[in-house]
Structure 1
Amino acid sequence: MKDILIFPFLSISTGHHHVADALQAELKSQGLAAEKIDIFSHAYRRLEKLSSEAYLKWIQYFPKTYSGIYKLLACGKYQKDKRYTMYEWLFTQQMRHILQEKQPDIAFCTHALPSYLLNRLKPEYPNMTVVNVYTDFFVNQLWGRENIDYHFVPIIDVKRQLVSEGISQKHIYLTGIPVHRMFETAPADACQHHPPYTIIITGGSMGVGGILKWIRYLSPGGNILYKILCGRNEKLYCYVKSLRHPCIEAIPYLHSKAEMNRLYEQASGIMTKPGGVTISECLQKRLPIFIYNALPGQEEMNLNLLKERGLVTDMRNWDMQKAEERIAAFFQSSEQAKEYEKHVNGYLAEISDRKIDDVLKIII
C-alpha cells in the first residue's frame, strides 16, 4: 500500500482544499488512502488562524496593495534560482519532520508553498514522487519546477508555459483543475434554458468579494430567479432573507457535493468570482459564467486568461440596474449561446485526453 500525502495551505476553505478533497475522493475510489496536511497549521497552529484572518482583511480592505505585492513577488518570468528565504526559514524543518515521520511514497501539492519546499527537499528523498496539482489557470513563480515529477495542469496555456520553462511534456498531464467526480460533464445541450432563468450567485462564503454590493443593486423583474449561495456567511444569509423578495432566495451552507450538483443542474447560469475550482465545476456543467468581481492576485490572473479564451463574461463594469436585462439577452441570443458553447467545448476537449483517475493509476 502506498503512503500518500496531500499538501494544501492554510485552513480556510479555498480551492486548494477543494482540490485536495477531490484527489482524496479519487484515490479512495481506487482503494487508496491519502492524508491531507496543512504545514502552516501543523507548524504554527495559533499563528495560522491569525494569518488567515489577516489575509482575508488584507484582500478586503487593501486589494490594490495586495495585488501589487502579489504581482511583484509571484508573477512574471520564472527564475530558476530565485529563493524565498523567509518561507524556507519558517517551514523547511517542519516539512522535513513531516517527511521523516510519514515517509510518503507520493506527495501531491495543491498550493505553491509546499511545492516550493518539496522541490528543494526532493534530493534528500529521491524515492518520493512529488506532483504539482495546479488550482488556478496560471502558474506563479513560487511553484517548484525542476525536482517535481509530474504536473497536473488546468489548461493548454499552462502546459505551453511549463514546456517553455524546460519541463518535459511527458511529465505534464492536461487534467484540468481536479473537481469532485460528482460534477460530471453535463449534456451538450445544457445551455438551452427558458425564462424565468435561474441564476446562482456565489462567492461570499468568506465575507469578501463584493457580493453584498451586487445583491443590493439587484432589480428583479421576473425574468430571473436568483439563488444566493451564502455558505457559512451568516451576515449575508440574514441580509438576503430580510429582503423577502419572491425572486431572491438565500441558500445556506450546503453539506454535500450532491446538493451542489443538483443546484448546478437546476441553474441556467452563475454569477461568481473567478476562483479556479468554481470555474472548473461550472465549465464541467457547461454553465454560462458571469464574473461580477475578482479578488486581487490569483483571481485577477485567472480572469485575464478566461476572458481571452471566451470562457466567462466579465460584468464588472455593467450598469447594475441593467444586469438582469443583459443576462436575459445572453440566453435569448442563440448566437451568444452557441459562441459560448464553442469555447467551452473546446476547453473540455483539451482536457478529455486523460481523465484524472487514469492519470492517478499511471503515476501510482
Structure 2
Amino acid sequence: MNPDPVVLIVSSAFGDGHAKVAQAIEQSFRARGVDRVHIVDLFARVHPWLNGVSRAFYLKSAIYAPNLYGLMYGATSAMKPEDPLGRLLHSMGKRKAKGILEYIQPDVIIHTFPYLAASELGKESASEVPVFTVITDYVLHGRWIHPHTMKYFIPTEKIKEALLAAGIDEQAIKVTGIPVRDAFRKFPDPAKVLRKHGLKDGRRYILLAGGAYGVMSRVRNILKSVLDRTEFDLIVLCGNNHRLRTSLDNTYRNNSRVHILGYTDDVHELMSISFCLLTKAGGVTLTEAFAMSLPVIVYRPLPGQEAGNAESLTRQQAICTAFSEAELLDQLRRLEIYSFREEMKRQMRAVSHTESSGLIVDEILLAIKEQTSYAGQPLNEPSGKGKATSAHG
C-alpha cells in the first residue's frame, strides 16, 4: 500500500516557473492518490515586505538594469551554503517558517525555489523530514545547494556535472528533466483550437510571449519586423502586462495578422498550432515548448539564469537565440528548412523528459516508504498530520 504523506512544496511567485513546476508535481502526487499536498510561497509568507521588494527589483531590473541583475547573479553563483551570505539567505525567517512547518507537519519537503530555510528546519526536527530539490533552470546557481538535501532532481547531465564539481554525492543526484503540467503532455485537435481562438486554418503563427519583454518598444520592433519581412501571423501573449496589451490593441485592432491576448491558461493549445515560440529564456517555459515539440527562438536573453539557459540549450542545438532583429529573421528562415527543424526537434526530445514529475514523485514516495519501514511504522497507519485543509498555503 502507498504511504499517505503530508507533502509540502516550497514555491514562489518569482518568474512564475517555480509555481508551474510545483503544480506539475502536485498533479502527479494526486494521480497516485496522495491528496495532502500543500504548495506554499514560504518566502512571501515569512517575509511579505522583503518578498515584495525583492520581486519588484527582479521584475524592474529585467527591464531597466538587466546588467546589474546579471552582475549580482554572477557574483553569487558560486556561493556555498556555509558562506556567510549562504547562511544568511538560508536562515532568514527561520522562526516564522518553523511555525508554518509545525502547523502543516510535513512528511516531506520539496523545493522548486531556492529559499531553503525549510531544509534547515527539516534537519532540526526530531524525525528529520526528508528534503528534496527540483532545479528549474538549465544552469546551476549556488543558492540551490544545501547539505541537508536528500536528492536533487535536475534537468540535464550538464547540471549533474556542475553538482558533482560542487561536491554533491552522485547518489544524491537524479536527472529527471524539469516537470511540466499535464496539459503540456497532450496534443489537442488543431481544428478545435483554431475555432476556439478565432484563428485561421492555413496560416502560420508565431507565438510571442510579449509580456516577458517588458519594454514596449522592443515588442513593437519585433512585430514590425515580422509583419514587414515575413508572411507569418503573430499571437502575442501579454500576460498581466495590461499596459502592453492596451497599447498593442490600440495599434493592431484592425490588423488581421496580429492577435493580442492577455493572461491565458490555454498556452498549451496555442503552442500546439504555432510554427515557433518567440520568448525569453525561462527554464520552465522552454521545457513546456519542448514537451509540445515546438521550436523556440529566444530573443536577447537577459543576463543571469536566462542567459545561462539560452547559452546551454543553444549549444545543444535545442533552441535558437537571436540578439537582433536581423538575427531573428535569419533564425525564422532557418526554421523553415525541414532538416534543420527536425534536427532541432530531435535535440529538444533529448533534453525533454515528459514523465519528469512522475519520476520525481515515484522516487520521493519510495524514499518515504523506505524511511517509514525503517522506523517500524505501518505504512497505512494514520499519522494525524496535515492540519491545513487547503492544498495551496
- Which residue pairs with 1:170 in the alignment? 171
Q: Distance in 2 between matches of 1:319 and 1:103?
A: 55
* 1:281 corresponding residue in structure 2: 288
For 1:140-151, what aligned pairs fall within 5 Å after superposition? 140-151=141-152
Aligned match of 1:17: 19
Alignment of 1:93-132 (within 5 A): 93-114=95-116, 117-125=117-125, 126-132=127-133
- Equivalent of 1:241, from 231, 234, 249? 249
Q: Deviations over 1:258-316 (max 9, x none)?
A: x2221111111110001011100011111110111322311111111111111111112
**CA deviation profile, 1:38-87 (whole Å, cap 9, x unmatched):** 222212334433332233122221111111111001x23x6463232442
Amino acid at match of 1:120: E
The alignment status of 1:250 with 2:260, answered yes or no, reads yes
Alignment partner, residue 306 of structure 1: 313
Aligned to 1:45: 48
1:195 Cα offset (Å): 7.0
Matches of 2:167 and 2:53 in 1, distance apart? 38
Quick check: which has more Rg, 1 or 2? 2
Q: Are the structure 2 counterparts of residues 275 and 96 from structure 1 closer, same or farther at C-alpha, using a change threshold of 3 Å?
A: same
In the alignment, the residues of structure 1 paired with residue 208 and residue 309 of structure 2 have an alpha-carbon distance, to the nearest angstrom, of: 19
Partner residue of 2:155? Answer: 154
Matches within 5 A, 1:1-364: 1-9=4-12, 11-12=13-14, 14-32=16-34, 33-73=36-76, 75-76=77-78, 79=80, 81-84=82-85, 85-88=87-90, 90-114=92-116, 117-125=117-125, 126-184=127-185, 196-204=203-211, 207=214, 210-220=218-228, 223-242=231-250, 243=252, 244-254=254-264, 256=265, 259-319=266-326, 323-324=328-329, 326-348=330-352, 351=353, 355-364=356-365
User: Are the counterparts in 1 of residues 91 and 120 from structure 2 also a CA contact under 8 Å?
Assistant: no
User: For the structure 1 residues 81 and 55, does the alpha-carbon distance in structure 2 shift closer, same or farther, using more than 3 Å as the test?
Assistant: same
Q: CA deviation at 1:122?
A: 3.8
Higher relative contact order (CA 8 A, sep 6+): 2
> SS of the residue aligned with 2:182?
coil
Secondary structure of 2:183's aligned partner: coil
> What is the RMSD of the two structures over their aligned residues, measured on CA atoms?
2.6
% same residue: 22
The 3-state SS of whatever aligns with 1:142 is helix
Paired AA for residue 41 in structure 1: A
Aligned amino acid, residue 48 of structure 2: R
Report the Cα distance in structure 1 between the residues aligned to 2:33 and 2:289, rounded to whole angstroms.
Answer: 28
State whether residues 206 and 233 of structure 1, in contact with CA within 8 Å, keep that contact through their aligned partners in structure 2. Answer: no
> Residues 79 and 221 of structure 1: is their aligned pair in 2 closer, same or farther, counting only changes over 3 Å?
closer
Q: Distance in 1 between matches of 2:80 and 2:26?
A: 32
**Counterpart of 2:93 in 1: which secondary structure?**
helix
Question: Quick one: distance in 1 between partners of 2:230 and 2:51?
Answer: 45
Q: How many residues align?
A: 344
SS across alignment from 1:151: strand
CA distance in 2, matches of 1:137, 1:332: 26
Distance in 1 separating the partners of 2:313 and 2:132 = 24
Displacement of 1:183 in angstroms is: 0.6
Q: CA deviation at 1:232?
A: 1.7
What's the CA shift for 1:217? 4.2
Q: Which region of structure 1 is more displaced relative to structure 2, 170-179 or 78-87?
A: 78-87
Equivalent residues of 1:240, 1:249 under 8 A apart: no
Counterparts of 1:208 and 1:29 in 2: how far apart (Å)?
A: 41
Structure 1 unaligned blocks of 5 or more: 188-193
What is the alpha-carbon distance in structure 2 between the residues aligned to residue 91 and residue 154 of structure 1? Answer: 29
- How far, CA to CA, are the matches of 2:363 and 2:210 in structure 1? 35
Cα shift at 1:13: 5.2
Runs of 5+ in structure 2 lacking a partner?
A: 189-200, 366-393
1:157 offset after TM fit, Å?
0.8
TM-score (normalised: structure 1): 0.85
CA offset digits 1:11-30 (Å, max 9, x no partner) = 35521111112112221222
Contact 2:135-2:144 within 8 A present in 1 as well: no
State the alpha-carbon separation in 2 of the partners of residues 79 and 358 from structure 1. 28
Give the conservation status (yes or no) of the 8 Å contact 2:213–2:219: no
3-state SS in 1 of match to 2:238: strand
